[in-house]
Amino acid sequence: MLAAGEFPATAAGCRDLLKWAMKLGTVRRAGVEGTGSFGASLSRSLLAQGIGVLT
């Protein structure tokens, strides 16, 4: 594991998560749980930024 963090399931939380992850290096893909419910907005946000989503 590289790092861990907690972010709220809000638009601001999605932005903060991505900003935090990009400090660790280039983000090309992300694994997201619950893409049909809580992770759906995060998945849409990541895809809009050109980041692949693994479910």
Q: What is the pTM of this model?
A: 0.81
What pLDDT score does 2 carry? 79
Phi, psi of 26 (to 5 degrees): -70, 130
pLDDT in tens, 14-42: 999 999 999 999 999 999 988 888 889 99
What pLDDT score does 3 carry? 85
The set of residues, in sequence order, having a beta carbon less than 8 Å from that of 38 and lying 6+ positions away, is: 9
What pLDDT score does 9 carry? 84
What pLDDT score does 49 carry? 93
